[in-house]
Chains A and B, each alone.
Chain A
Amino acid sequence: MTDVPYAPPTQSRALKIALRWGLYLMLTVFALWYLLPLFVMVTTSLKSLEEIRTGSLIALPREVTLEAWRTAWSGACTGIQCEGLRPYFWNSVLLAVPAVLISTILGAMNGYVVAQWRFRGANIIFALMLFGCFIPFQVVLLPMARTLGILNIAGTIPGLIFVHVIYGIGFTTLFFRNYYVTIPAELTKAAKIDGAGFFRIFWSIFLPLSLPIIVVTVIWQFTQIWNDFLFGVSFSQAGTQPITVALNNIVNSTTGVKAYNVDMAAAIIAALPTLLVYVVAGKYFIRGLTAGSVKG
Chain B
Amino acid sequence: MQWLERHVPKLVLAPSFIAALLFVYGFIGWTAWVSFTRSRLLPNYDLVGTIQYERLFASPRWEVALNNLFVFGVLFIGISMLLGLLLAIFLDQKIRTEGVLRTIYLYPMALSLIVTGTAWKWMLNPGLGLEAMVRGWGFEDFTFDWITDPDMAIYTVVIAGVWQASGFVMALFLAGLRSVDGEIIKAAQVDGIPTHRIYTAIIIPSMAPIFLSAFIVLSHLAIKSFDLVIALTGGGPGYATDLPATYMYAMAFSRGDIGQAASSAMVMMMIVFAIVVPYLYSELRAKND
> Chain A: residues with CB nearer than 8 A to chain B?
1-6, 8, 23-24, 26-27, 30-31, 33-38, 40-41, 44, 52-53, 56-58, 106, 109-110, 112-114, 117, 119, 122, 125, 127-129, 131-132, 134-147, 166-167, 169-170, 173, 197-199, 223, 226-230, 233-234, 244, 247-248, 251-252, 260, 263-264, 266-268, 270-271, 274-275, 277-278, 282, 285-286, 289-290, 292-294, 296
**Bound Cα distance A122, B279 (Å):** 21
The answer to whether A274 touches B20, judged by C-beta atoms less than 8 angstroms apart, is no
The listed residue (B115, B220, B230, B283) touching A296 by CB distance below 8 A is B283
Q: How far in angstroms is the closest Cβ of chain B from A185?
A: 13
The answer to whether A264 touches B122, judged by C-beta atoms less than 8 angstroms apart, is yes
Say yes or no for B272: interface residue by CB 8 A criterion: yes
Interface pairs A-B: 9 shortest CB-CB: A6-B195, A227-B112, A117-B9, A278-B110, A229-B227, A140-B27, A138-B265, A37-B119, A132-B24
The listed residue (B31, B104, B182, B276) touching A34 by CB distance below 8 A is B104
Of A8, A36, A134, A266, most buried by chain B (CB within 10 Å of CB) is A134
Contacts of B92 in A (CB 8 A): 1-2
Contacts of B276 in A (CB 8 A): 134
Q: What does the 1/0 interface line of B225-245 toward A look like (CB < 8 Å)? A: 011001100100000000011
Interface majority SS (helix, strand, loop, mixed), chain B: helix
Number of residues on chain B facing chain A (CB within 8 A): 107
The answer to whether B90 touches A26, judged by C-beta atoms less than 8 angstroms apart, is yes
Contacts of B94 in A (CB 8 A): 3-4
Say yes or no for B143: interface residue by CB 8 A criterion: no
The answer to whether B133 touches A58, judged by C-beta atoms less than 8 angstroms apart, is yes
Q: A3-B195, A129-B16, A275-B110 are in contact. Are A140 and B31 (CB under 8 A)?
A: yes
Contacts of A125 in B (CB 8 A): 13, 17
Q: How far in angstroms is the closest Cβ of chain B from A238?
A: 14
The answer to whether A274 touches B110, judged by C-beta atoms less than 8 angstroms apart, is yes
Contacts of B272 in A (CB 8 A): 134-136
Say yes or no for B280: interface residue by CB 8 A criterion: yes
Residue in chain B with minimal CB distance to A197: B5
Residue in chain B with minimal CB distance to A106: B16
Q: A34-B104, A110-B13, A267-B115 are in contact. Are A223 and B133 (CB under 8 A)?
A: no
The answer to whether B261 touches A30, judged by C-beta atoms less than 8 angstroms apart, is no
Say yes or no for B81: interface residue by CB 8 A criterion: no
Q: What does the 1/0 interface line of B21-52 toward A look like (CB < 8 Å)? A: 10111111011001000000001000000000
The listed residue (A109, A143, A270, A285) touching B115 by CB distance below 8 A is A270
The answer to whether A35 touches B104, judged by C-beta atoms less than 8 angstroms apart, is yes
Say yes or no for B224: interface residue by CB 8 A criterion: yes
**Bound Cα distance A52, B133 (Å):** 11
The listed residue (B16, B119, B171) touching A290 by CB distance below 8 A is B171
Q: A34-B104, A142-B30 are in contact. Are A271 and B112 (CB under 8 A)?
A: yes
Number of A-B contacts (CB under 8 A): 274
Say yes or no for B8: interface residue by CB 8 A criterion: yes
Q: What does the 1/0 interface line of B118-130 toward A look like (CB < 8 Å)? A: 1111110000111
Contacts of B129 in A (CB 8 A): 57
Q: A5-B195, A34-B163 are in contact. Are A136 and B245 (CB under 8 A)?
A: yes
Residue in chain B with minimal CB distance to A223: B110
Q: How far in angstroms is the closest Cβ of chain B from A220?
A: 11
> Chain B: residues with CB nearer than 8 A to chain A?
5, 8-10, 12-13, 15-17, 19-21, 23-28, 30-31, 34, 43, 87, 90-95, 97, 101, 103-116, 118-123, 128-130, 132-133, 136, 163, 167-168, 171-172, 175, 177-178, 180, 182, 185, 189, 194-196, 198-199, 203, 213-214, 216-217, 220, 223-224, 226-227, 230-231, 234, 244-245, 248-249, 252-253, 258, 261-262, 264-266, 268-269, 272, 276, 280, 283-284, 287
Q: A129-B16, A277-B110 are in contact. Are A1 and B185 (CB under 8 A)?
A: yes
**Bound Cα distance A49, B113 (Å):** 25
The answer to whether A37 touches B23, judged by C-beta atoms less than 8 angstroms apart, is no
The answer to whether B231 touches A286, judged by C-beta atoms less than 8 angstroms apart, is no
**Bound Cα distance A173, B172 (Å):** 22
Q: A106-B16, A131-B24, A286-B106 are in contact. List 8 more A-B contacts (CB 8 A).
A: A37-B163, A114-B13, A128-B17, A144-B23, A199-B8, A234-B249, A248-B231, A278-B107
**Bound Cα distance A141, B261 (Å):** 9
